[in-house]
Structure 1
Amino acid sequence: MQRRHMLRLLASATATLAAGVSLTAAAQGYPTHPITLVVPFPAGGTTDIVARIVADKLGQQLGQAVVVDNRGGAGGSIGTAYLAKATPDGYTLGIATASTHGINPAVYPRLSYDATKDFTTITNLASVPNVMSINPAVKATDMKSFIALAHSQPSKIAFGSAGNGSVSHMMGELFMMSSKTQLLHVPYKGVGPALNDALANQVQVLFDNLPSSLPFIEGGKLRALAVASPKRVAALPNVPTFAELGLPEVNDASWFGLIAPANLPADLQSKLNAAALKVLAMPEVKAKLEKLGATPVGNTPAQFATQIKNEVAKNKRIAASAKISLD
């Protein structure tokens, strides 16, 4: 019995060693064929656009095509779970977002992946400012007057979001926690319907990624009160950041990062990080991202891992406070 047990342990150890040797050997000549980049959202959205901007140039840096594979559904969890189960050989990469690696772990009790353990971080590619805007019919001209109005009418002013557990929903909840206000949450199936109703004053407040709201802010159909960004946005120089207004907790921008399955060999992680940083430094890539309202980031794998860990913790606090739990 003991001999059979020892043989099983030896066989298991040999298989593990062989797998490690195989991945190391593959890393030496990597890449030898096209790479798949899993985008956990449908084509056409901000995540998809950022991914395609980077994928084209990343493929040129690596000498092999990087092919985008859209696997949307369940707030990004379907594509992200698929990536978590892929072989960590560098040929299946993915895009992590504030939704997939911050909000989903906080609001889905039966999520099929662990955002901090099931992936290898490579780098945060880009950040996109978020914005809080109101319909011009609201009798407030700035954040101070809006908060005073909200305090005088608890639960009477409505804010629209892209849906329960969305970035815009969590941002709204965090704003209420930070400003000690109580707004009425109205969830929609996507940001488009929420934006339309904000323009029609069916809801008075909208929390959104800046790119989709910016044309209406510039056209005077929405009034921006604050942006969530490290600094003021060039397109809206007169709109302060949440940090400037004394609400630093709400000042986190949306982000889009490059990841791989857990246990990616360290040399592949380093090679991909170096290639991605070169891509983000290209003037044409910067120009395309800035046109989208995004800012190139490009940090280390360790810094990105810390960012994800902090994002999960933040959203768990919000979900617990607002009692948000989704099936």
Structure 2
Amino acid sequence: MIFCSVKKTVFAALLAGAGGLAFADSYPNKTITLVVPFAAGGTTDIVARIVADKLGRELGQAVIVDNRGGGGGSIGAGVVAKANPDGYTLGVSTLSTHAVISACNPKVAYNPVKDFKAITNMAGSPNVLTVNPKFPAKDFSQFLAHVKKNPGKLSFATSGQCSIQQMVGEQFKVETGTDILHVPYRGAGPALNDLLGGSVDMMFDNLPSSMSHIKSDRLRPLAVAWPTRIDSLPNVPTFKELGLAAVNEPVWYGLVAPANTPDAIIQKLNAATVKVLKMPEVQERLRASGAEPVGNSPAQHAAEIKQEMERMQTLVKKQNIQFDGS
């Protein structure tokens, strides 16, 4: 009887697998929705639209972008987590939605690891430490010396409580043993405006948001979070060069599907997306927006998500960062 039961179980599994493969063979046969968990116009949205345009052509079906902003990205991510796992609702994974928010807010309505299947990391983007040109430091060495001489007197602006900018700033404080005041704003725009106006001293921002101000000499860059120096900022060292490897983590923009999406569909989406990311036109457009194409495997992006989630959980606990609901 046990042998018969085992045979039935194996047969059922084979049947399910065959059905999944057949489903993947016909996939996609209708429009795919790509949920961007932030408002239109930001780097996440730009990356998603660049890839979606070509991905739709590669798959033979339109890929439309649906912006679902709010909650630091948690609203849009929640939509994807609860969607039908048939490959027709995908989402953009970010350091914010899949690491920071869940670490800061234990009540978030999804698990970044268990409720999604990773497809690929589409692109990465550097972070940059900038100061107002009036700040009394011309380079990072002078900057760090000044910060250490003035504990608790200097401030860094962010787009809000539990934002990526705050996490980079908090990691910086841990690695350098410095005391800098966190000043959260309701968005990166107001934070940048006050940095430009001199109301706050520094900001750990995503490079695309700050680049125009750097080029116009309205902000002074002191360090970037990227594996190598940035071609457009050749004189600005990386945090790793400065002995701060833990701060040298760029942000990323991945592609995920709801948990239980058939593996055959995940592989099909991965192959198509990686092919798109190798297109010269796509690479050119991504780099023009301040992002670098990646295109890794589902397992590699899943590992990135898990690693960053654990790193943020450790940082939040160490720095006693409290989510205030804003």
TM-score range, shorter chain: over 0.9
From 306, 314, 317, give the equivalent of 1:309. 306
Partner of 2:79: 82
How far apart, CA to CA, are the structure 2 residues paired with 1:298 and 1:305? 13
Matched, 1:323 2:320: yes
User: 1:25 Cα deviation (Å)?
Assistant: 3.4
How far apart, CA to CA, are the structure 2 residues paired with 1:273 and 1:317? 31
Structure 1: runs of 5 or more not aligned: 1-13
1:206 match: secondary structure: strand
User: 1:36 Cα deviation (Å)?
Assistant: 0.6
Partner of 2:35: 38
Instruction: State the TM-score, normalizing by the size of structure 2.
Output: 0.93
How far apart, CA to CA, are the structure 1 residues paired with 2:152 and 2:117? 42
User: 1:201 Cα deviation (Å)?
Assistant: 0.8
Aligned residues: 315
From 233, 243, 246, give the equivalent of 1:246. 243
Matches within 5 A, 1:106-255: 106-255=103-252
How far apart, CA to CA, are the structure 1 residues paired with 2:14 and 2:162? 42
Deviations along 1:177-218, one digit per CA (max 9) or x if unpaired, are 111111111100011111111111100101101011111112
Matches within 5 A, 1:247-266: 247-266=244-263
How far apart, CA to CA, are the structure 1 residues paired with 2:18 and 2:206? 44
User: 1:26 Cα deviation (Å)?
Assistant: 2.1
Structure 2: runs of 5 or more not aligned: 1-10
Tell me: CA distance 1:86–1:15, structure 2 relative to 1, closer, same or farther (3 Å). Answer: farther
Partner of 2:281: 284
Moved over 4 A (4+): 14-24
2:92 match: secondary structure: strand
How far apart, CA to CA, are the structure 2 residues paired with 1:72 and 1:249? 29
Tell me: CA distance 1:21–1:82, structure 2 relative to 1, closer, same or farther (3 Å). Answer: farther
How far apart, CA to CA, are the structure 2 residues paired with 1:268 and 1:293? 30
User: 1:17 Cα deviation (Å)?
Assistant: 9.6
How far apart, CA to CA, are the structure 2 residues paired with 1:21 and 1:87? 20
2:107 match: secondary structure: coil
User: 1:148 Cα deviation (Å)?
Assistant: 1.1
1:169 match: secondary structure: helix
Partner of 1:298: 295
Matched, 1:67 2:64: yes
Tell whether the 8 Å contact from 2:20 to 2:264 is kept in structure 1 after alignment: no
User: 1:325 Cα deviation (Å)?
Assistant: 2.6
How far apart, CA to CA, are the structure 2 residues paired with 1:179 and 1:145? 14
Tell me: CA distance 1:317–1:240, structure 2 relative to 1, closer, same or farther (3 Å). Answer: same
Q: Percent identity?
A: 54
Letter matched to residue 226 of structure 1:
A
How far apart, CA to CA, are the structure 2 residues paired with 1:231 and 1:132? 15
How far apart, CA to CA, are the structure 1 residues paired with 2:40 and 2:141? 39
